[in-house]
């Protein structure tokens, strides 16, 4: 399996850890859940087992547990979308994802300044930060 799209479904149950064994998975869309499937505690910890994963979309889920540090181990990610999570700060660990081309962090309620650590994502050409409460200038390192 190369792509798994479970967007906008009314799913019940749990996300099986066996998905972490789908080593050929390149695109994973687990966004906009409205059923009983719990994507409210945290991002599944087995994501870092998906070595070929290039596109991860977890948008529009209410993750009270936040984004685990292990997500930064997904070093091959090209596109990461975690908009509409309701988290309050941009994790500096995201800067470890040096291969990122697109980072979508809009609609989260972020406060404070844009972390200058994001400069380490030197392949980043699209950074979406709309509908947050960020302050201050854009770091010159990102310009």
Residue pLDDT, tens place only, 21-78: 898 999 998 877 665 555 555 567 777 788 889 999 888 776 655 666 777 888 889 9
Domain limits at 127? 3-142
Tens of pLDDT, residues 31-41? 776 655 555 55
* Total number of domains constituting the chain: 1
d(C-alpha 134, C-alpha 130), whole Å: 9
Q: Calculate the CA dihedral of residues 63, 28, 91, 10 and round it to 10 degrees.
A: -10
Q: What is the pTM of this model?
A: 0.84
Which DSSP category does 81 fall into? E
Going by DSSP bridges, is the β-strand pair 79-81/27-29 parallel, antiparallel, or unpaired? unpaired
């Amino acid at each position: 399996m190369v792509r798994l799209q479970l967007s906008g479904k009314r799913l019940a149950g749990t996300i099986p850890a066996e998905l972490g064994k789908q080593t050929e998975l390149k695109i994973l869309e687990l966004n906009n859940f409205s059923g009983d499937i719990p994507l409210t505690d945290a991002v599944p910890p087995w994501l870092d087992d998906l070595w070929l994963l290039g596109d991860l979309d977890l948008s529009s889920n209410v993750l009270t547990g936040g984004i685990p540090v292990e997500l930064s181990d997904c070093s091959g990610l090209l596109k990461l979308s975690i908009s509409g999570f309701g988290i309050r700060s941009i994790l500096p660990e995201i800067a470890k994802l040096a291969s990122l081309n697109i980072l979508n962090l809009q609609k989260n309620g972020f406060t404070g300044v844009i972390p200058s650590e994001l400069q380490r994502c030197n392949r980043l050409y699209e950074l979406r930060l709309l509908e947050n409460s960020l302050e201050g200038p854009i770091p010159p390192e990102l310009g």
